[in-house]
């Protein structure tokens, strides 16, 4: 496997299978009374979050702690970053402290890649701008495989603001890599113009797509996009693309509803629909810890060639 996880392009289909299989063991650890193993004792993981994301941060934090690694949370408010420190100087500081892995969330696409120039440890992308969010995609793949038993030929629609969604990009790339059948659905203004080159289908008609799905994956609609005039109103979006109580009946028996969270109940998904048994958002969260444990283990469980090399 690559030393870093910046994008789904960093992992092969074989790597993905290994990551998901290893996560299987870590999910078992999560069911124990003592949910902790000593696999990464003495390693240091830094959570470097330039954007607020409580869910992803605590998921990584719990993952690292359950592996017995030491975790430092470096958030932007109230730190040197708020005092104007550059990404480079923050990175050099973390490097000097001997971080074995840096988990970074940043509003600028490409910030994790830039970070790899300055730190010797592994860099894990926890979401960068409108680029990628690979750990979310992997936990989603795990959840789908766990429920359905396979990824190949799985029919998945990703519905919503695909254009601005790093989740949609990572998930599409990962699903296509594993041989799934992906359709992007949304208003034409929110479908990326280069979608054809992703190896996916595109549709603007949610009701036509729903009856042919194994997985209905909803994206969060960001209200500021309406102010930027990508769609006329939130109500119109909900009426045309929302997974309403009426539309959920179009989904085949046994299909799953997924959402990366946080949800806008009443916009992309009706509140009742979000509480149906086929809506697996809580499983996604639980599986997210196992996937992040798997990634940290696979990236940091080998030889610590870099640690303290400059001491």
Partner 1 sequence: MSPATILDEAEIRRAVTRIAHEVLERNHGAGGVALVGIAARGDDLARRLALEIERIEGASLPVGVLDITFYRDDIGIRAEAPEVHETRIDFDINDRTVVLVDDVLFTGRTIRAALDALVDLGRPRAIQLAVLVDRGHRELPIRADYVGKNVPTRTDEQVRVCLKEVDGEDAVVVEEPGGSA
Question: Given the complex with partner 1, which of 21 and 236 has the nearer CB atom?
Answer: 21
Kindly tell me which of 283 and 306 has the beta carbon lying closer to partner 1. Answer: 306
In the bound complex, what is the minimum distance in angstroms from residue 303's beta carbon to partner 1? 5
When the beta carbons of 269 and 298 are compared against partner 1, the nearer one is 298
- Smallest distance, partner 1 to C-beta of residue 112, A: 21
Q: How far is the CB of 293 from partner 1 (least distance, A)?
A: 10
The binding site for partner 1 (CB under 8 A) comprises 21-22, 24-25, 28-29, 32-34, 36-43, 67, 297-304
Judged by CB, which is closer to partner 1: 199, or 301? 301
Which residue lies nearer to partner 1 by CB, 33 or 194?
A: 33
In whole angstroms, how close is the CB of 70 to partner 1 at the nearest point? 14
For the CB of residue 37, give the shortest distance to partner 1 in the complex, in Å.
Answer: 4
In the block, tokens 């392009």 appear at: 9
């Amino acid at each position: 496997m690559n030393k870093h996880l910046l994008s789904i392009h960093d992992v092969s289909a074989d790597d993905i299978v290994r990551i998901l299989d290893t996560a299987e063991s870590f999910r078992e650890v999560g069911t124990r009374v003592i949910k902790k193993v000593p696999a990464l004792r003495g390693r240091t993981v830094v959570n470097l979050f330039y954007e607020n994301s409580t869910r992803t941060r605590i998921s990584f934090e719990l993952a690292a702690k359950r592996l017995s690694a030491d975790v430092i949370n470096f958030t932007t408010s109230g730190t040197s970053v708020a005092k104007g420190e550059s990404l480079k100087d923050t990175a050099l500081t973390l490097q000097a402290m001997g971080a074995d892995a840096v988990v970074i969330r940043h509003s600028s696409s490409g910030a994790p890649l830039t970070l790899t120039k300055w730190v010797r440890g592994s860099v894990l992308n926890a979401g960068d701008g409108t680029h990628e969010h690979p750990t979310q995609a992997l936990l989603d793949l795990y959840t789908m495989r766990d429920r359905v038993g396979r990824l190949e030929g799985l029919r998945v629609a990703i519905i919503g603001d695909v254009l601005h969604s790093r989740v949609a990009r990572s998930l599409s790339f990962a699903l296509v890599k594993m041989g799934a059948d992906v359709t992007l659905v949304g208003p034409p203004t929110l479908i990326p113009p280069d979608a054809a080159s992703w190896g996916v289908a595109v549709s603007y008609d949610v009701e036509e797509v729903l009856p042919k799905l194994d997985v209905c994956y909803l994206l969060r609609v960001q209200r500021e996009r309406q102010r930027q005039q990508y769609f006329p109103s939130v109500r119109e979006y909900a009426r045309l693309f929302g997974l309403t109580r009426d539309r959920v009946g179009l989904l085949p028996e046994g299909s799953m509803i997924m959402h990366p969270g946080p949800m806008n109940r009443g916009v992309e998904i009706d509140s009742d629909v979000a509480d149906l048994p086929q809506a697996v958002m809580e499983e996604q969260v639980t599986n997210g810890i196992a996937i992040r444990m798997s990634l940290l283990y696979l990236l940091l469980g080998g030889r610590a060639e870099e640690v303290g090399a400059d001491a």
